[in-house]
Amino acid sequence: MTAGGDAATVMRRCDVLGAFSEEPGRLTRPFASRAMLQVHEQVTLWMRDAGLAVRKDNVGNLLGRYESAGGGSSTLILGSHLDSVRGAGRYDGPLGVMVAIAAVQRLHDSGSRLPFAIEVVGFADEEGLRYGTTYIGSKALAGAFDVADLERADAQGVTMAQAIRDTGGDPGRLAEDRWQGGNLLGYVEVHIEQGAVLEARDLPVGIVSAIAGQSRYRLTFTGDAAHAGTTPMDRRKDALVAAAEFVMVVEAEARETDGLVATVGQLAVSPGATNVVPGQAVLSLDVRHADDKVRVERSDRLLHRARDIATRRGLSVESEPVAENRSVPCSPRLMSVLTQAVQELGHPAVTLGSGAGHDAVVMAGITEMAMLFVRCKGGISHNPAESVAEEDVAVAIDTLSKFMELLAAKS
Ligand code: GLV
Ligand code: MN
Ligand code: MN
Q: Check pocket membership of 57 for ligand 1, CB cut-off 6 A.
A: no
Q: For residues 87 and 329, what is the distance between their CA atoms, to the nearest angstrom?
A: 30
408's CB contacts (< 8 A; 6+ apart) are 114, 115, 116
Rounded to the nearest integer, the mean pLDDT of the chain is 97
Q: Check pocket membership of 356 for ligand 1, CB cut-off 6 A.
A: yes
Is residue 1 predicted with pLDDT exceeding 80?
Answer: no
Res 329: pLDDT: 96
- Reported as half-sphere exposure (CB side, CA atoms, 13 A), residue 96 has a value of 28
C-alpha 128 – ligand 1 centre gap (Å)? 8
C-alpha 101 – ligand 3 centre gap (Å)? 17
Q: For residues 400 and 96, what is the distance between their CA atoms, to the nearest angstrom?
A: 10
Among all ligands shown, which has an atom nearest to the Cα of 193?
Answer: 3
Q: For residues 301 and 2, what is the distance between their CA atoms, to the nearest angstrom?
A: 54
pLDDT in tens, 316-361: 999 999 999 999 999 999 999 999 999 999 999 999 999 999 999 9
Q: Check pocket membership of 127 for ligand 1, CB cut-off 6 A.
A: yes
Region 163-190: what's the mean pLDDT?
A: 98
Atom of ligand 1 nearest to the CA of 382: 2
- Residue to mutate, 29, 82, 127, ligand 1, most ligand atoms under 8 Å from C-beta: 127
Q: Check pocket membership of 286 for ligand 1, CB cut-off 6 A.
A: no
At 71, the pLDDT band (50, 70, 90 cuts) reads confident
Q: Check pocket membership of 129 for ligand 1, CB cut-off 6 A.
A: no
pLDDT in tens, 118-163: 999 999 999 999 999 899 999 999 999 999 999 999 999 999 999 9
Nearest CA to 117 out of 179, 52, 60 is that of: 52
At 2, the pLDDT band (50, 70, 90 cuts) reads very low
Among all ligands shown, which has an atom nearest to the Cα of 85?
Answer: 2
C-alpha 110 – ligand 3 centre gap (Å)? 31
% pLDDT > 70, the chain: 99
Is residue 86 predicted with pLDDT exceeding 70?
Answer: yes
Q: For residues 295 and 286, what is the distance between their CA atoms, to the nearest angstrom?
A: 10
Region 232-253: what's the mean pLDDT?
A: 98
Res 70: pLDDT: 83
Res 41: pLDDT: 98
Question: Do 51 and 113 meet the contact criterion of CB atoms below 8 Å apart?
Answer: no
C-alpha 182 – ligand 1 centre gap (Å)? 30
At 411, the pLDDT band (50, 70, 90 cuts) reads confident
User: What sign for the dihedral angle of Cα 340, 341, 345, 347?
Assistant: negative
- Residue to mutate, 81, 86, 126, ligand 1, most ligand atoms under 8 Å from C-beta: 126
pLDDT in tens, 183-233: 999 999 999 999 999 999 999 999 999 999 999 999 999 999 999 999 999
DSSP character string of 168-228: T--GGGGGGGS--SS-EEEEEEEEE--SSHHHHTT-SEEEEEEE-EEEEEEEEEE---EET
Is residue 235 predicted with pLDDT exceeding 50?
Answer: yes
Q: What is the model's pTM?
A: 0.93
C-alpha 3 – ligand 1 centre gap (Å)? 33
